[in-house]
Structure 1
Amino acid sequence: MKYIVLLGDGMADYPIPSLGNRTPLQYASTPNMDKLAEVSQLGMVTTVPAGFSPGSDVANLSVIGYDPKTYYTGRSPLEAISMGIDLLPGDISFRCNLVTLSDEENYQDKRMLDYCAGEISSEEAAELIKTINETLAPEGINFYPGISYRHLMVWHNGTGEQHCTPPHDIADKTIGNYLPQGNGSEELLNMMLNSNKLIEEHPINLLRKERGKNPANSIWLWGQGTKPKMPAFKDVYGVEGAMISAVDLTKGIAQAVGLQVVDVHGATGNIHTNFTGKAKAALKILSEGSDFVYLHIEAPDEAGHQGDLETKIQAIEAIDRLVLGEIISGMKELDDYKLVVLPDHPTPISLRTHTAEPVPFMLFNSAAIKNGPRIFHEKSALAANFHIDQGPDLMKLFLR
């Protein structure tokens, strides 16, 4: 038996008036999902435990079968694992976004215009992070470049007691009420403020502004935590497998639990990602002997954060046509298989951030087909009247 998790990050949503009070998942053309739903178990699953923020870190940990209440130590440490940064005891890792803030004189009065600085290129971002690390980082603090706007700061023997807000939660809002608070927050705030002064007129940002692109004119620190300890996926679930993703977060989760990380050329984490290449990579992994693959697609979530309804629908349709269609076709040549399709959390267009409501899933088993006139979206999954209250229980059911 082969096992495939196809996760469309942030794919779930709320009904939207302009779509006839349908969600993007209801409105999108998804013939492969709907055909599969006719012979699958549909239901809803709670991926975010009570008391946790509905981040992709918590939700993907849940979906991959690890209880966040036991294993979650913060988002950034998972990304650090993916980036090859070995956190030592006492190290606190922070996510460091490059963001675009408005041009008010006082830092506290600025607004969060763009949490991803126009999806700045990794090459441009690396230069900015290098400048920040060499100029601003005090003793005991290091900055590390990542992909696009996503970077890391490590505070050796630091404190992670601050309350920090994800920048994608405060789109177009004045940042003053969302700056770091708590023990150690003054150090973080000083670096954020000074980064704005340092890189606002950096040659890279001057050129970006000339070209009509958003400048990456500040860092934003959040998602802090310490290095996690998790048992190997094979030891818990009895199978070996791989993760296919374009983002460090899910790659870090995979490495933390001993799954192989497979990089796909052209995988970007947005609508321009190599959808077909990811699907073909999953089929290749399974054909070469692996039993399990977790295929993560970030594009719907990015569109949700941008409030871009058209692109979110486009991303869902691409997942259906270019990923699921390819997998269904390719799996005909392999043994019996199970496939589960779901988002990790909703990213409603109206809110432009994550929410913690249960999400729809469909579970297909080629060896035990269930017939029924279903299609796949939030409403049909809810109507199936099958609810998994603890996210990790879905993986247990899937691999049973």
Structure 2
Amino acid sequence: MKYVIVHAGGMAHHPQEELGGRTPLQVAATPHLDRLAQSGELGRLMIPADGVHHGGGLVGTVILGYDPKKFYPGPGPLEAASLGVSGTEQDVVFRCTMVTVMPASGKGGEIKKLGQHVILDDATAGLIETEEARELIEAINEQLGSETIQFYPGAGHRHLMVWVKGKPRAICTDPQTIVGQSIAEVLPKGDGADILRQLMDAAYFILRDHPLNEERVAAGKKPANCIWLWGEGRAVMWPSLVEKYQVTGAVVATNDVHRGVGICAGLDAVDPDRMASGDLHTKAAVALEEFAKRDFVYVHAKLADEVIHGTDIKAKVQGIEEFDRHLVGPLFEGLSQQGPYRFLVICDHTAGIEGPAFYAFGEGGGRGSETVGRRFTETDAFAMNMPARDATKFVNKFFSKS
């Protein structure tokens, strides 16, 4: 038996006026996802996260069967696992996101200190590319790094800071939730927040005057002129999914957080260089190659950041159609040639916190009894006459031997 879980990150959406009150999934042509919904089980998933600080990797954690109240450490430690950044259980890992801030008075103003009169203009620093961001993170580490504070480059605007034997109880905010707003009320608060604020202030002046940012501004790009510290947590040891269910497994993901989820669960992480092209067809091919030597593959795929966080709804529809055509379709075709299999697709809203998740689950070739007309959409999943399943327990059904 082969097992595949595909996490469709951020593809669920609320009804859109410009789509006639429908969601992008309802508008998109998704024959392969619809086939799974028609021939298998379609329903809602409950993400038991009450009291848990939300962030990237939360849904992946529960999909693989881990109670987030016990095991979800926050996105920082998950990224650290993916990047091979090691530390002790006493060290606190923060996401260090490169952002663009500007004076509330406009471009002509001057920022003397991060606070009330500063607006977070862009939570991705204009989708800064990895090589440029690496140069900036290294400049920060050279001037602010110490025995207790270390900065580590990641990908794009996403990087890490490790506070050795640091304080994990500061209250920090996801920068995506405050774009266009004053940062005054959402700067770090609580135990250890003074240190975090000092680091963010100091980093601002390093970045503001860095030649690379001067070049970006001259080229009409947004400067990566500030770091935003959030997503903090300490590493947590997870019981191995591989050992519990007696399967061999791999995680196929280009996103560091979701690679980290797989690694923490005991899965082997596929080298992201094998998916350097970034296209979904390559991701499907890599997953199928892994099935030649493994029982289980966890695949994470999401729409591009500019699509998820942008306002172009039609681009989201197109992205969903490409996901169905280039990832789900080839996986169906490839698995059907390898004998019995189980196929689970889970779809959630952006970051998994804007609305409930839903799923479609089927076995074999998906050629059993079918519910004609049923589609892989939010509306059809929520119309099913059954309660939402606990996402942390669904994996037991998925790997059951019966």
Taking structure 2 as the reference length, the TM-score comes to 0.92
Q: Distance in 2 between matches of 1:170 and 1:308?
A: 20
Q: Conserved in 2, the CA contact under 8 Å of 1:92 and 1:154?
A: yes
How far is 1:333 from its partner?
A: 1.3
Q: Deviations over 1:173-195 (max 9, x none)?
A: 11111100001101111111121
Q: For 1:311-390, list aligned pairs within 5 A.
A: 311-343=315-347, 345-347=348-350, 354-366=352-364, 369-373=368-372, 374-390=374-390
In structure 2, give the amino acid aligned to 1:281. Answer: V
* Equivalent position to 1:189, from 187, 197, 203: 197
1:275 corresponds in structure 2 to 280
Give the secondary structure class of the aligned counterpart of 1:381.
helix
Q: For 1:29-178, list aligned pairs within 5 A.
A: 29-104=29-104, 105-106=110-111, 107-108=114-115, 109-178=117-186
Q: Distance in 2 between matches of 1:58 and 1:358?
A: 13
Percent identical pairs in the alignment equals 36
Q: Distance in 2 between matches of 1:384 and 1:213?
A: 47
How far is 1:211 from its partner?
A: 2.0
Q: Conserved in 1, the CA contact under 8 Å of 2:336 and 2:365?
A: no
CA distance 1:214–1:198, shift in 2 (3 Å): same
* Equivalent position to 1:284, from 275, 285, 289: 289
Q: For 1:292-311, list aligned pairs within 5 A.
A: 292-299=296-303, 303-311=307-315
Q: Conserved in 1, the CA contact under 8 Å of 2:96 and 2:161?
A: yes
In structure 1, give the amino acid aligned to 2:329. Answer: G
Q: Distance in 1 between matches of 2:19 and 2:198?
A: 45
Give the secondary structure class of the aligned counterpart of 2:39.
coil
CA distance 1:40–1:301, shift in 2 (3 Å): farther
In structure 1, give the amino acid aligned to 2:353. Answer: T
Q: Conserved in 1, the CA contact under 8 Å of 2:100 and 2:223?
A: yes
In structure 1, give the amino acid aligned to 2:92. Answer: I
Q: Conserved in 2, the CA contact under 8 Å of 1:97 and 1:151?
A: yes
Q: Conserved in 1, the CA contact under 8 Å of 2:253 and 2:301?
A: yes
Q: Deviations over 1:4-44 (max 9, x none)?
A: 11111111111111111111111112122123322111000
Q: Conserved in 2, the CA contact under 8 Å of 1:94 and 1:152?
A: yes
Give the secondary structure class of the aligned counterpart of 2:236.
coil
Q: Conserved in 2, the CA contact under 8 Å of 1:67 and 1:391?
A: no
Q: Conserved in 1, the CA contact under 8 Å of 2:89 and 2:236?
A: no
CA distance 1:61–1:354, shift in 2 (3 Å): closer
* Equivalent position to 2:264, from 256, 268, 284: 256
Q: Distance in 2 between matches of 1:219 and 1:82?
A: 21
Aligned residues: 390
Q: Conserved in 2, the CA contact under 8 Å of 1:300 and 1:316?
A: no
Deviates more, 1:245-254 or 1:384-393: 384-393
How far is 1:47 from its partner?
A: 2.2
In structure 2, give the amino acid aligned to 1:378. Answer: E
In structure 1, give the amino acid aligned to 2:70. Answer: T
In structure 2, give the amino acid aligned to 1:397. Answer: K
Taking structure 1 as the reference length, the TM-score comes to 0.92
CA distance 1:205–1:300, shift in 2 (3 Å): closer
Q: Conserved in 1, the CA contact under 8 Å of 2:65 and 2:392?
A: yes
In structure 2, give the amino acid aligned to 1:252. Answer: G
* Equivalent position to 2:252, from 220, 223, 244: 244
CA distance 1:35–1:367, shift in 2 (3 Å): closer
Q: Distance in 2 between matches of 1:2 and 1:302?
A: 34
CA distance 1:259–1:55, shift in 2 (3 Å): same
Q: Distance in 2 between matches of 1:334 and 1:266?
A: 22
Q: Conserved in 2, the CA contact under 8 Å of 1:41 and 1:370?
A: no
In structure 1, give the amino acid aligned to 2:240. Answer: A
Q: Conserved in 2, the CA contact under 8 Å of 1:25 and 1:313?
A: yes
Q: Deviations over 1:198-256 (max 9, x none)?
A: 11131211122222222111000001111111011112222111101011111111111
How far is 1:331 from its partner?
A: 1.7
Deviates more, 1:144-153 or 1:294-303: 294-303
Q: Distance in 2 between matches of 1:100 and 1:282?
A: 36
How far is 1:163 from its partner?
A: 0.1
Q: Conserved in 1, the CA contact under 8 Å of 2:25 and 2:377?
A: yes
Gaps of 5+ in 2: 105-109
Q: Distance in 2 between matches of 1:206 and 1:361?
A: 47
How far is 1:266 from its partner?
A: 7.2
Q: Distance in 1 between matches of 2:3 and 2:352?
A: 27
How far is 1:122 from its partner?
A: 1.1
